Each structure stands twice: as structure tokens, then as C-alpha cells.
Chain A
Amino acid sequence: MRKLALRDEILLKIEKPARYIGNEVNSVMKDPSQVDIRFAMCFPDVYEIGMSHLGIQILYDMFNQFEDTWCERVYSPWTDLDAIMREEKIPLFALESQNPLKDFDFLGITLQYEMCYTNILQVLDLGQIPLYACERGEDDPIVIGGGPCSYNPEPIADFFDLFYIGEGETSYRELLDVYKACEKDHRSRKEFLIEAAKIQGMYVPQLYDVTYKEDGTIASFEPNVENIPRTILKNIVMDVSHTYYPEKPVIPFIKATQDRVMLEIQRGCIRGCRFCQAGQLYRPVRERDVEMLKHCALEMLKNTGHEEISLTSLSSSDYSKLEELVTFLIEECEKKKINISLPSLRIDAFSLDVMTKVQDVRKSSLTFAPEAGTQRLRDVINKGLTEEVILNGARDAFRGGWNRVKLYFMLGLPTETEEDMLGIGQLANEIAATYYETVPKEERKGKVQIVVSTSFFIPKPFTPFQWAPMNTKEDFLNKAFVTKNGIMSQLNQKSIKYNWHEADVSVLEGVLARGDRRVAEVIRKVYEKGCIYDAWGEMFKNDIWLTTFEECGLSVDFYTTRERSLDEIFPWDFIDCGVTKEFLMREWKNAMKESVTPNCRMLCQGCGAKRFGGGVCYEGEN
């Protein structure tokens, strides 16, 4: 039997010991003496969240298919274990072998949201790995970051040896081979990093210098060694039907957030909503072959025993073979008593028909994401959804027996006025009125329930809104107040419930999203003052963050509310995600003109992603 890193009495004292023992079905054990490379893959949040992430499952499966590599998993210890490990100086370990992280060759950390940054330091610190890349020695693991937040890695650049920009399936093999060659020739850590920096998508922060202008914006960003690229081109898988896909995902013992088979049907999104980062980063849209998906679905259900399967993508309705796939799944799942969940579906006749087949209508609700309260503002953000479409969808759904609706909006979008905020309540009211018009009194099962949720808009890199000023906390709270009053003044207000997001944490996320290298010092200091799990509302200590920004002589407003000029060099400009800055600028100007841009299937806008040579850009050309 494996020896656990933690003593029984520790495991019996803490919450959910299953987070730390490994041994899950489909987890991979290898003989350490038979592999050349030990890779620890980390999701810097609690186990149940981290285990729900498809990206890690894909990479875990890929790495373990390499015979010379053993990839293991590690997650952030919860605060109860965190305290014990500090007290007893127990080094953080990987789940499979239970060996300390510091003995690994690589520590890969996925960066899924900005508010996990202090947890990265927790993992390094408990792992007994120096926090700063420049302080690491020859025996320390190479610390690699990847995932969406690596598209602006600068606020955490000092903590990483390397960022892998883009999709993981393509360049890791090459990186590992370079590593092995360097090991064999006894070359130094620095020499390896320089070699690594020549591989597509690899960014080694130490090898680039940043200078700043007097106003705090960037003056220059230059490599400090020769023969490494000035701009880093993202990695992308062009053939998503013939690549790694985990047919045997690891099954946690405790209930993870996603306790189901996840079937990623496509990458990217044709829509081009101007606030959405994912919609730009993952261009062009690439669909997986429907036969591959059918095969994967059956294999994964067989290998996991999960009782539910979920289709994932940014916009499932845009998948061209959706009907074929869903019909197949309904038939197979009926036999095997498996539930199907279909998030991110547009409400129309097809989706309502499917939902009637796969869900209990009485228990489920309809979801619309108009994102803005008026057509004018929806045009600004390029959200194609119109009031007519929403009301028609709702009417059909009400006839089909639904009586619960969820509506998602953002507050603080560029050009927003009070009319837009009041529009939220008016739209919710219209939907409620539609219910009462559509469903005769005797058929109603109670009131219609409409839940309106607003989040605060945070401008993100590589979106047309990367130039936009963000609102202050006070603006946000005022807007939520106006929205609330707008809802309360509606005729059907008793049918409408309103939730809004925390404003403090949104402001901070705004800083980290568009921050530069100077923010790293703040992250380290707040970590040393005890901040971790900032993404967890009850743990977030806003005061500490704000006072630390002051201590470090940095202004929150510089990163959030400041109006950026069109010629400013952004901290992330050295990354080439396929979409050009010229295109984003054009879209920013279109937004100001309230002008709508057609989606990728309707008309190519020349965003730049066509140069990858595939996906939606070449549909129908073969």
C-alpha cells in the first residue's frame, strides 16, 4: 500500500481528508524509477473545484501517455490543513505518489481566474519552493503557468520560470525533449530556459525587460538575450478531432463541482461579444468531429460510471452537428439511465424540445444572458440577442410548462446610462407579463419566478474593451441600487428577484486582469499578510489588498478607471493570440458607434485568426 504523506491523526482532524489521499479510480500510478520526468499539475484552488476542470484532465491524460513522464496532481490545501502544514513544516505533495513537490522536475499551474494568484504563492510556499523564479536553484522544479490568465501573465511573471501560452496539446512534448537533452548535457537551469524560450508559445519572463514611462505606462518590452522571439505566438490545436482527449478521466471519491462526464464539443466562439475574453483568445472556432464525440462519450461513460454527461463549449447552439449528437446521446443515455445536461444553449424550438426530453421541466429553469438592459447597449457589446428573441423564446417555454427564468446582465459596461440600468427591470417585467398573457390562470402553477443577476463588468486583455475604463466600487454599487429600484418599480416586481455581485472583489480582479509586473510585489505582500483563497467571498480581505497597494506606491485607479490611449503599449502586447490589435481597435471603435459586427459564420471580419489555417475560417471551402 502507498504510504500517505499525512499522518492518520492529521487526516482525521481535517475536513474532507479525501482531498489529499489520491487513489481515485483512473488516477495513474507509475514506477518513478522507470520515468525520466516527474510533472506535478496544479489547480490552485480546493480539490473539488480543481478536479472539475477539463483542461487538467486533458493534460494529465496526455502526459501520462508519454512513457517517460509521470504526471500527478496537486491542489491547494484547504485552510485547516494549510495551518497544520505550516506548523509542522510538512512539504506539499502530489496526490499519486505522495512525494514532495520540490522533488519534481516540473510544477505546472493552471491559471483559470485572477483571484487564485495568492493561492499560487501558497502552493509554492508549502511546497518549499522559492517564490521568485530568480531565487530558484538547479534542483528546484521548473514552475510553468498556463491557461487563460497566462494571456496577461505580467502580474505574476516574477513567480514563474515559464508560461506556456495557448492550448496544451501541441508543444509540451517538444518542451520535455528539450528538458531531457539539457539534463543529459548537464546544462544549467538558465540554459534550459533560454532553449525553452525558442519553442512556440513559451514565455520566460526573466529573459525580457520592461521599462516604464514617467506616467507609469510601458515604454519598452525587450528580450535581454539573443535569438528568442520578441512576440510570443500562442499554441493552438488545429485538428481537434485527432488529438488527446481523456477517455478515462479521474473520478473523485468526494463530490466535485462537476460530477459528470464533460464532453468538449468545440473550441472557440463565432459570436464576438466585445466584453468576452474567451471569445477572442480561442479563435478560430474549431468543431470536433461528431463521430469522435459519440465515441468519446460512450467510452467516458463506460470508464467512469458517471450518471450524467454534459456538453461543454462557449456556445453549444453554434455547433453544426448539435442535433445529430444530442439525438444520439438521448437514445444511448435513455438505455443507460444517464442524465444529459446542456448548458449554454440558445432558447429556441430545438433546444426547448431537447430540454423537454432530458430534464424535468417543473424543476428546471430557462436561462437568458442579454448582458445589457437596452438594445442600444446590446449593440455596443455586440450581443446579438434581441428583446423579440427573448420574449418569443420565453413564450414558447411558458407554453411548454416552464415557469422559472434566469436572466444575466452586466453593470458598468462602456457607454452605459441610467436608461440601460432601468431597461433591466423593464425586460424582466416584460417576460413576467408574457407569462401571464401566455398561460391561462387555471394552468398556472403559482407565480412566474424571474431571477435577475448582475455582475460588474471587468475589462479584459485581448478584447475590444481592453481600452475601456472600469467603474469604481462606488459607481458599481450605485448602479446596482438604480437597477434594484428599477425592478422594484415594475408592475410584476413581486415575480422578480434580484441578486448582485460583490463590488470589492470585481475591482481587484480588474487590477489583476490588466496589471503589469509591478503588481507582483503587492501579491507577495498580501500573501505574507495571510491572504489566500481570495476567490472565496468569505476569505477575501479587501482592506489588506488596498493598504498594500498604497504601501507599494501603486494606484488601483491606474489599472482600473484610467482611460487608456489607443497607442499605449499594454503589458500583454508581446503575446500574439491570433487576433490582431488593429482588429480589436476597430471593434472598440465600432462599439462606440453602437455598430454591430456579424459573427464569423456570417462574414469574416479579418480578425487575424485565419492565418492558423483552419476552423470556421475555412468552412465550406474544401
Chain B
Amino acid sequence: MKVRIKFSKHGAMKFIGHLDIMRYFQKAIRRSDIDIAYSTGFSPHQIMSFAMPLGVGLESDGEYFDVEMNSIVSCEDILTRLNAQMVEGMHILNVRVLPENVGNAMASVAAARYRISFRQGKEPSFPWKEMLADFLGQESIFVIKQTKKSEKELDLRPAIYEMFLESDSIVMLVDASSAGNIKPTLVMEAFYAHASHDQEPLGEFDLEITRMETYANAGTAEAPVFVPLDEI
């Protein structure tokens, strides 16, 4: 059976990259002695799939991975055993058995919510709180997206589902599907360019970003209904 595990990543752990987090969980799962399934072959590995890599430097309250289990005592048992193996900054938030028909975590990802705040002394000099509505009021927001092979022009506007002010932070819900994933810094760069009339570029280390949640789409492409990955 397939089990979905939700975890958070904070503090110093934000400096640990995605591949190392996978290795970290492989070892934690071995230590926790839960009955995970292994692939067959000469070097068997745990059957595990992560929803969405989190960039180095980002924190998160909504990370997910799926594992294939041979047997389980209960979700509570897995949660307790895994939490006993976590280091400071890592926490297992939820464990649930997936219904048979649910696709794997990675394929299910449709959107992600981020909270963005400014590092101390790095707040923009333009009136950013007031400019937010103006930025979102645009019909289209063209940016250049760098890919490994080339760069292409892209309209960000349809990929931004929500973007609003929450105390001194900006919260945004953006497309995170494999075809249209948008990085929050890309949105913020466009916001800086628009709001400062290209006078004030976003600095490399100005932002503190937390992924708040990762969502699947329970609706249709035209009328999406975003639900957290553990509520499918």
C-alpha cells in the first residue's frame, strides 16, 4: 500500500539540498524500522517518490513524499517512529494511507503556496504594499524564463492564482505543475521590475521564502480546486 508523508523543513535544514534530503529520509526510514517495500534486483532500494524538490535556502511547512509499504501498524505509528528519528528543523506533520486510485505525489502537484518576507534591511524602497494590486491588475506579465538549454518568454499572470499581503509578508499561490512550475523569485523579480520601473532589481539574498503548502487539483483544468496533497 502507498503512504503519503507530510513534513516541514526549517532552520539550518534549509541548507540541505533535495538529493541529500532524500538520502536523509532513506536512512531515517531504516532507523525507524517501518516495513517499507524495496525494489527487486541486485541493489534493492526503497520505493519512494518526492512530490516536489525544494530549493536550497527555502523553508517549508508543506513537503510531501510517498512510500510503498509492505505492512503498517497505523499511520500514527509511522508518524511517531519517524519523528523519533528527525533532527532539529525537520518534523513529520502527517501520515496517511492513499486510496488505490491516487497518482504518485509528483504527478499530482498542481500548485504551491509561498510566504515571502524581506530580510532585515532588505525591504524595497518603493511602496511595495501599495503596488501589489497594481502589479496583479496587469492583463499579462511577461518575463524571460531561463531553462537549462534556452530562455523563453512566458506570461506569468495566468500562473499566479493568488497573491496578497499578510502583515509584512506576501503570500502567493502559483502554478507548481510539472509543465508550468513557477518559482516565487521569478514572480518577485517581475514585481520589482514593474513596481520600480526597472530601477530596483531584486537582490540575490533579499528574500526569505517559506513554502506553506503543496496542492493537487481536485477540480478541472478550467475550474481548478486546489487541495493539499494529504487531503486528496
Contact = CB atoms under 8 A, between A and B. Distances in A.
Is the pairing of A and B real?
Answer: yes
B26 interface: yes
Interface in A5-41: 8-9, 11-13, 17-18, 21-25
Contacts of A254: 16, 20
A contact residues, range: 20 to 34
A22 B16 CA distance: 11
Interface stretch (B38-46, B162-170, B175-183): B38-46
Contacts of B31: 25, 302-305
A78 to B, nearest CB: 14
A22 B12 CA distance: 9
B70 to A, nearest CB: 12
Contact of A305 (B12, B20, B29): B29
A305 B88 contact: no
B208 to A, nearest CB: 8
Contacts of A324: none
A301 B20 CA distance: 19
Given A251-B27, A305-B30, A8 B20 contact: no
B11 A18 contact: no
Nearest to B10: A1
A2 interface: yes
A261 B12 CA distance: 25
A306 B29 CA distance: 10
A330 interface: no
Contacts of B26: 305, 307
Interface residues of B, number: 30
B154 interface: no
A585 interface: no
A12 B56 contact: yes
Given A18-B20, A21-B12, A305-B30, A337 B38 contact: yes
Contacts of B23: 253, 255
A360 interface: yes
B27 A21 contact: no
Contact of A339 (B43, B85, B119): B43
A4 interface: yes
Contact of B89 (A1, A9, A301, A336): A1
A18 B15 contact: yes
Nearest to A14: B15
Nearest to B11: A1
A296 B20 CA distance: 26
Interface in A354-390: 360
Nearest to B205: A9
Contacts of A4: 12
A4 B10 CA distance: 13
Given A255-B23, A305-B26, A305-B29, A17 B88 contact: no
Nearest to A10: B205
Nearest to B86: A25
A34 to B, nearest CB: 19
Contacts of B56: 12, 17
A11 B14 CA distance: 10
Contacts of B43: 339, 360
Contact of A23 (B27, B85, B87): B87
Contact of A253 (B24, B33, B42): B24
Contacts of A17: 15, 56
A230 B104 CA distance: 71
A164 B88 CA distance: 35
Given A1-B11, A12-B57, A23 B20 contact: no
Nearest to B33: A302
A155 to B, nearest CB: 37
A175 to B, nearest CB: 32
Interface in B38-90: 38, 42-44, 56-57, 85, 87-89
A8 B30 contact: no
A21 B17 CA distance: 13
Contacts of A22: 12
Contact of A11 (B10, B15, B24): B15
**Residue among A301, A307, A339 with max Cβ neighbours from chain B (10 Å):** A307
Contact of A8 (B16, B29, B57): B57
A22 B13 CA distance: 10
B44 A305 contact: no
A303 B44 CA distance: 20
A9 B15 CA distance: 11
B184 to A, nearest CB: 15
B187 to A, nearest CB: 19
A1 B14 CA distance: 13
29 contacts: A1-B10, A1-B11, A1-B89, A2-B12, A2-B88, A8-B57, A9-B204, A12-B204, A13-B205, A21-B12, A21-B15, A22-B12, A23-B87, A24-B87, A25-B27, A25-B28, A251-B27, A253-B20, A301-B30, A302-B33, A304-B27, A305-B85, A306-B30, A307-B26, A307-B27, A307-B30, A337-B38, A339-B43, A360-B43
Given A2-B11, A25-B87, 5 more contacts: A1-B88, A17-B56, A23-B12, A307-B27, A337-B38
Interface of A: 1-2, 4, 8-9, 11-13, 17-18, 21-25, 251, 253-255, 301-307, 336-337, 339, 360
Interface pairs A-B: 8 shortest CB-CB? A305-B27, A305-B30, A9-B205, A17-B15, A305-B31, A21-B12, A1-B11, A337-B44
